Amino acid sequence: MGIGTDTGGSIRQPAAVCGLVGVKPTYGGSSRYGLVAFASSLDTPGPLARNVLDAALLHEAMSGHDPRDATSVDAPVPPVVAAARQADVSGMTIGVVPELSGEGYQSGVLARFTEAVELLESLGAKVVEVSCPHFSYALPAYYLIAPSECSSNLARFDAMRYGLRAGDDGTRSADEVMSLTRAQGFGAEVKRRIMLGTYALSSGYYDAYYGKAQQVRTLIIRDFEAAFEQVDVLVSPTTPTTAFPIGERVDDPIAMYLADLCTIPSDLAGNAALSVPCGLAPEDGLPVGLQVMAPVLADDRLYRVGAAVEAALDSRRGHRLLDDAKGLA
C-alpha cells in the first residue's frame, strides 16, 4: 500500500495504468497537514493499494478531523471498510457520464469500460445515462485554477527562509540568489505552471481568467449535485488511454494534460472518486481503470462498487483458470 496526493488525478491515473486501486477521498476528509501544498483547494491525500479492501483500510486509518489542517472536515469518517467487505451493488443506481467517453478515447479502454458497466448491471445495479454538460470545460478551468494556486504556494521556496539555496557565495544579491535557486530547484513543468498561474493572477487578467475558471468550477459542482439527485454514483473510464511509453509526451504538455479529462471534475468539485482495475485493453494488453465518483462524504459508495467489480472479475478469472486447467488435464 502507499499514499499519494490527488490534485487533478495523481492517485487515480497511476493506479489505472498500473492495474492498482487508487482513491481520492472527499476533499478535507484526509488531512493535508505535512504536505507540500501545490493547489490548496484541490490537493487530497489518499490510498493506493493492490485491492479494494486494503485501500479501504488505509483510507479509514488516514482519515478524520485534524485541527492542524484548516481544510479538514469535522465529520465522521464514512464506513469505507464495511462497504468494501459488503461488495454489493444490488439496488444501487449508477450513472454513466456521456461527456467522459467517445471521441479521443482508446477503443480498448471503451470496450473494457462498457463491459464493466454491463457487469454492474448484471450484479443488480440499475444503470442510466446522466449528462453533466459542464464537465467539458473542466480541463481548461483546472489549468487556470491549479497553476494560479501553485504560483502562490510555491512562492515560499525563495531561498531566503528554508530549502534549497543556490549561488549564495557572498558576491550575489538576494534577488540573484533567489532567481538562481528557483531556476535550479524547479523542473520545467513546475516552471510552466508557475508562469501560467502568475499570468492568470496578474492585474487586468484575474477576472478574465481565474475568476471565470472559478465560475466554471461552480457549474461543475452543480452538475454533480444534479446528477447525484438521480443516481448513487457516477462511472467513467479513469483515463482516455492506457499507459503511454516513457518520455513520449514530455515535449507535448497539451497531450499530457488531456490525460486528466476524466479525473479533474471530481477534484474541482471536491467529491470522492476511486479507480479500480477492470481488465486489459485488447490492443496492447495494458490495464484499464474504471472510475467511480460519489457525493461528498459518501466515500463508502465507492468501495461498494469497486469491491463488487473486483470480486466479480476475480471470480471470472478463477473460472477461466479452472477451465484452462481442465483442458490441460
**Residue-wise pLDDT tens digits, 306-327:** 999 999 999 877 656 555 555 5
Place of cell 444534479: 226
> Band of the pLDDT at 160, cuts 50, 70, 90?
confident
232 pLDDT higher than 80: yes
Clarify whether residues 162 and 41 are in a common domain: no
Task: Identify whether 9 is part of a domain.
Answer: yes
Q: What is the CATH number of the domain that holds 324?
A: 3.90.1300.10
Q: What is the pLDDT of residue 326?
A: 54
Q: Could you tell me what percent of the chain has a pLDDT over 70?
A: 96
Clarify whether residues 31 and 93 are in a common domain: yes
163-208: pLDDT as tens digits: 899 988 888 999 999 999 999 999 988 999 999 999 999 888 888 8
Q: Give the separation between CA 95 and CA 128, rounded to whole angstroms.
A: 5
Q: What is the pLDDT of residue 328?
A: 52
Domain that holds residue 75: 1-130+234-246+262-329
Q: What is the pLDDT of residue 254?
A: 81
How many domains does one find in the chain?
2
Clarify whether residues 22 and 123 are in a common domain: yes
> Band of the pLDDT at 76, cuts 50, 70, 90?
very high
Q: What is the pLDDT of residue 202?
A: 87
**Average pLDDT, rounded, for the chain:** 92
Clarify whether residues 122 and 238 are in a common domain: yes
Task: Identify whether 198 is part of a domain.
Answer: yes
**CA-CA distances (angstroms) from residue 4 to 25, 44, 53, 150, 225?**
11, 8, 17, 18, 27
Residue type, 286: L
136-154: pLDDT as tens digits: 999 999 999 999 999 999 9
Clarify whether residues 111 and 71 are in a common domain: yes
Clarify whether residues 207 and 274 are in a common domain: no
Clarify whether residues 123 and 266 are in a common domain: yes
166: three-class secondary structure by DSSP: coil
Backbone angles phi, psi at 2, to 5 degrees: -155, 170
**CA-CA distances (angstroms) from residue 77 to 29, 72, 102?**
7, 12, 36
Clarify whether residues 137 and 106 are in a common domain: no
Task: Identify whether 206 is part of a domain.
Answer: yes
Clarify whether residues 150 and 18 are in a common domain: no
